[in-house]
Structure 1
Amino acid sequence: MTETPETPEAPEAEVLLERRGHLGHIILNRPKAINALTATMVSLISDALDAWEHDDGVATVLLSGAGERGLCAGGDIVALYHDAGNGGAESAGFWAEEYELNARISSYPKPYVALMDGIVLGGGVGVSAHARHRVVTERTKVGMPETGIGFIPDVGGTYLLSRAPGELGTHAALTAGTMTGPDALLMGLADVYVDSSRLGELSAALERRPADEVLLEFARKAPDAPLAAAQAWIDDCYAYEDVETIVDALLRSDAEDAKAAAAVVLSKSPSALKVTLQSLRRARELPDLPSVLEQEYRVSLHALTAPDFAEGVRAQVIDKDRNPRWTPATLAEVRQADVDSYFAPLDGRPDLWEGLQDRKTDSSLISQEQR
C-alpha cells in the first residue's frame, strides 16, 4: 500500500480582496506581524484600487486588518535594515510604490473607508490617515515611531503632523508617542469614532448603502482627547525652530508631563530629531501631499544610509537590548550641514515623481513587447 504524499499548504495571501454587494474590501493579512506592510502588499492594494476605480459595481472601498491587534504596525523595517547594507535599491523601489499609493489613496475618486482599529503605526498611517473616511475606536493606538529607530516620519506623516492644530504634531513626531482615537480626531488624523464592537455591522452596512450615510449612523461622540488637556504647554514648548530650545522649554515648564516629554525626546536619535523637526517645518510650507512625499522620499533614502537607522533597528528589533548608541550621541554634536544634507537631491536616483514617469514608461514598453 502506497501512501499519498501530503501536498504542502499554499501560503495565505498577504492581502485578501473581497467583493460583497457594492463594497470592495481590502484586508491586510499578516496578523502575526500586526499586518506590517511588504512590497507585495503595497502592489496588491494598488492593483485593487486600479480595478475597483473603473468597476461600476463597487461603490465603496474598505480597508481593515486581520487579527485582533490592529490595522497595521508599519513597514517591514527588518527588510529595510538588511537592504540598507546592500545599497538600498529594494528600499528605494518599495518606498516609491508605497508613497505613490499614499498619494493615490488621498485622491481616490470613490469613498475609501479605513478602519483604524487597534495599532496603527508608520506605514499603517500612510494607508489609512490619507483616506476620505477614517474611523477610530476605543482601541486605537496611532503614531509615527520613527525617531526611536533613528528614522524620520514618512508616508505623508510629516504632511499630516505639520497640519495638526498648534504644535501637537511636533510633539507626536519628536516623542514618537502613540495617540488614542480621540487624540487622532483632535489632530485631524481621523474623522469618525465608532465602538469597536460595531465594526462588523458597519462593514455589512457598507455593502448596501452609501458610506456617508452609514458612517453618520454608526458614529458616536468620542471621549475627551488626552492631548487636549496638554495642548497649552505643548504649543508653548514646541514652537521653536531648534530641538535644543524645545527641550529646554520642556524642562523649564511648570507641567510635570512636559518634563517627562523632555526625557522621552532626549532618548531618541539626535540626528533623527533634528531632521524630523526640519521636515515638519518645511512640510508646513509645501503646498500639498505629493510635494511633501517628494521631500520624504529624499529624506528617507538619505536616512537609510545613515548610521542611526541601522543602530536603531538593531537595538529595538534585532538584538532588542533597547540601548541604541546614536552617532552623533548628542544634539549639540549634530551639525546643521548634516541636517541639510538629508534634503539634498538624490545621487544617482530619480526623485519620486520623476521616477514614477520612468516606471510608467518601462511598464508600457514591457506591455508592448508582450503583445
Structure 2
Amino acid sequence: MRNPASWDRSSLAPVTESTPAPRVLIRTEGALGRLTLNRPEAINALDLGMIEILTQTLHAWRENTDVQIVLIDGEGERGMCAGGDVRALHAQIVGGRAEETAEFFRAEYALNALIAEYPKPVVALADGITMGGGIGLAGHAAIRIVTERSKLAMPETRIGFTPDVGGTWLLGRAPGRFGEYFGLTGQTMNGADAVYLGFADHFVPSDRLDALREALAFRADPTGPSEIVLLFDETPEPTTLPSLRPAIDEAFSAPTVAEIVGRLQAQGSTDAAAIADLLEGLAPTGLVVTLDAVREAREASGLRAALEGEYRRVLWFVNEHPDLVEGIRAQLVDKDRNPRWQPATLAELAPDAGAEARAYVPRHPLF
C-alpha cells in the first residue's frame, strides 16, 4: 500500500509533481494578442527559449486576422524584464560554449528587429524594471508605455560590457548628449525621463493598466490603439533632465572617454564629480567601445544597421576580451564587487581602443 504521506489529505488524491509554468504566456483576448513574460522570480529575464517562443508567436500572428494588436508585458509587480540571463551567458563563455552565446544574440536581435518592423501595432508595457534585453522588447514597439513604477536603463557598462538590443539606436537619438551619458553611466530613467529621451511614448498610471488592456482587447469602434492609449495617458511629474542638459552636453560631447572625465572634473560640481568617479570605476574598454557604438549608431541608416554594429562588438567581448566574464563574475556570481579590469585604467588604453571591436567580423552574420 502506498505511504499515506504521499497523499494530499485535503483532497484524498495522490500528490503529483506540478508541471513547470510556461515562461511566456500566450493568449488572445478579443482583438488583442497578449505575450506575457512569465519568469517573475527573475524579473522576467530572457533566455533563448523565451525569445524563440516570442518570435514564433509573432510570426504566426502575422496572418491571424483575429489578432489586430499585440501586447507585450511582464508577469509580477517588479518589472517587465530585467534583461537577458547573464548568469547563463557567463556559464556558456567560461564553459567554452561561446557559439551558444552567439546563437542567443542572433535570435534576440532578430526579435528586436521583428518587433520594430511588425505589420500590426505592438504595444509594450514597460512597467517596473525594464532594462537591457527588456529595452530590446519595449523600446522598439510601435506604442511604448511607462508608469510611475518604471525604471529603464541600459546598464551593460556596469559589467564591463556594451549596450545592445538596439539600445545604441535609441541612445543615439536621445536629445543632445544624453545618449552618451546614459550609455556610459548605465543610469536609470524614470517614466518621465524615458518619454523625454525617446525611450517611451506615453505615461499611464499602473492602476489603469488593466483597464487599458481591456480597452485594447474589446474596443467597440474602429479607433486605433494610439487613440485608445491617449484616453489613459496622463502627464507625469516633470523630468529634471532638461535642466541638466547644458552640463551633460558640454562634458559628453568630448571626443574620448578620458576627456569626458576631465570635463566633468573641471565643472567643479558635486554631481559632475560623482559621475566622473563612477566612470573611473567602470571597465575602461567597455566605456570606450560604448562611446564608439553610440556615436556610430547615431549615424546609422536604421535599427538593423545599429544591431549589426552591436553584434560585432558583443561577440568581440564574448570571444576576445576578458572584461565581460570578469564583470559578471564580480557583480552576479561571486558578488565581491571587485572586478579586475584589463586594463584597469583609461590611461592604459591604446589610442583607439574601440577599433578591434568596431572591426570584428563574427563567424556567422547577424541577418
Structure 1 length normalisation: TM-score?
0.92
SS of residue paired to 2:287 = helix
Letter in 2 for 1:132: A
Q: Structure 1 counterpart of 2:169, which letter?
A: Y
SS at 2:218 equivalent: coil
CA distance in 1, matches of 2:285, 2:29: 48
Query: What is the distance in 1 between the residues matched to 2:195 and 2:79?
Result: 18
SS in structure 2 of the partner of residue 16 of structure 1: strand
- Indicate conservation of the 8 Å contact 1:145/1:153, yes or no: yes
Q: What amino acid is aligned across from residue 108 of structure 1 in structure 2?
A: Y
Q: Does 1:77 align with 2:86?
A: yes
Provide the C-alpha distance between the structure 1 equivalents of 2:336 and 2:242, rounded to a whole number of angstroms: 34
Partner of 1:340: 355
Instruction: Please state if 1:240 is matched with 2:254.
Output: yes
Per mean C-alpha deviation after superposition, the further-off stretch among 252-261 and 7-16 is 252-261
Q: Which amino acid aligns with 1:325?
A: R
User: Which AA in structure 1 matches 2:58?
Assistant: L
Contact conserved, 1:233 with 1:255, CA < 8 A, in 2?
no
**Which deviates the most, 223-232 or 199-208?**
223-232
Of 138, 148, 155, 2:158 maps to 148
Displacement of 1:254 after TM fit? 4.0
Which residue of the partner structure matches residue 58 of structure 2?
A: 49
Partner of 2:141: 131
- Following the alignment from structure 1 to structure 2, what is the Cα–Cα distance between the partners of residues 134 and 337? 37
Tell me if the contact between 2:316 and 2:360 (Cα under 8 Å) persists in the aligned partners: no
State the partner residue of 1:270: 284
**Aligned-pair distance for 1:338?**
4.1
Q: How does 1:33-182 map to 2 (within 5 A)?
A: 33-85=42-94, 86-182=96-192
CA–CA separation in structure 2 for the residues paired with 1:248 and 1:254: 11
Where does residue 316 of structure 1 map in the other structure?
A: 331
Q: Are the counterparts in 2 of residues 345 and 351 from structure 1 also a CA contact under 8 Å?
A: no
Match of 1:22 among 31, 34, 58: 31
Q: Are positions 1:280 and 2:300 aligned together?
A: no
Cα deviation for residue 76 of structure 1 reads: 0.4
Letter of the structure 2 residue corresponding to residue 299 of structure 1? R
Which residue matches 1:303? 317
- Aligned-partner Cα distance in 2 for 1:146–1:27: 24
In structure 2, stretches of 5+ residues that fail to align are 8-13
- Residue 123 of structure 1 deviates from its aligned partner by 0.2
Q: Distance in 1 between matches of 2:217 and 2:16?
A: 36
Aligned 8 A contact 1:328 1:334 in 2: yes
| 1:178-205 deviations in Å (ceiling 9; x for gaps) | 1111111111000000111111111111
Amino acid corresponding to residue 60 of structure 1 in structure 2: I
Picking from 268, 272, 291, the partner of 1:258 is: 272
1:343 and 1:198 map into 2 onto residues whose CA distance is 44
Q: Deviations over 1:329-367 (max 9, x none)?
A: 0011111454211122425x12211xxxxxxxxxxxxxx
Q: Distance in 2 between matches of 1:148 and 1:235?
A: 22
Cα deviation per residue 1:291-312 (whole Å; 9 max; x = unaligned)? 1101111110111131111111
Letter in 2 for 1:106: A
Give structure 1 stretches of 5+ with no counterpart.
354-371
Given residue 204 of structure 2, which amino acid in structure 1 is its aligned partner? Answer: V
SS in structure 1 opposite 2:358? coil
RMSD value over aligned CA atoms? 1.3
Residue 298 of structure 1 contacts residue 351 of structure 1 at CA under 8 Å; is this kept in 2?
no
Distance in 2 between the 1:185 and 1:216 partners?
14
Q: In the alignment, does 2:232 pair up with 1:218?
A: yes
TM-score between both structures, scaled by the size of structure 2? 0.93
Q: Distance in 1 between matches of 2:112 and 2:16?
A: 39
Aligned positions, number: 352
Matched residue type, 2:355 = D
Using the aligned pairs only, state the percent identity: 45
Q: Deviations over 1:131-187 (max 9, x none)?
A: 000001111100001001010000001111011110011100111111111111111
Which of 183, 186, 189 is the equivalent residue of 2:199?
Answer: 189
Q: In the TM superposition, what whole-angstrom CA distance separates every residue of 1:45-85 from its partner, at most 9, and x where no partner exists?
A: 11111111111111110011001000000000011111112
Per-residue deviation, residues 195-229 of structure 1 (Å, max 9, x unmatched):
11111111111102331221010001121112222
SS in 2 for 1:178: coil
